[in-house]
Amino acid sequence: MTYPTLAAFCRAVSIRPSTLTPQLQHLEQDVQGQLLIRGQHGHRMRLTDFGEKVLAVASPYADQLGACDAHGRRNEGRDRRSVTGT
């Protein structure tokens, strides 16, 4: 929520809004509720009350998922070296 809009977030992490928006919509469908009020016309995006609750529940797992992702990237590098013999 440090970015004023989804577009600003997308620019910062070098992804297209057309990539992020469907993923966010699918997530909202999966959890059966709106998570964000999108920023428009000088108003920052913000979490809905439901989004705040989801974030509170999911936050402890974000660090674990980040660690898993980093571990996976390290292992992929090892796998490539073993396959190529370097």
Total count of residues recorded for the chain: 86
Per-residue DSSP letter, 73: H
**Distance, first Cα to last Cα, the chain:** 42
**Residue 85 DSSP code:** T
Instruction: Compute mean pLDDT per 10 residues along the chain, 86 residues long, and list them.
Output: 85 92 93 89 88 90 68 51 48
Decide: 20 and 36 in contact? Cβ < 8 Å: no
Helix axes of 17-31 and 6-13: crossing angle, nearest 10 degrees: 120
pLDDT of the residue at 43: 82
At 63 the pLDDT is 74
- To which residue do tokens 């620019």 refer? 11
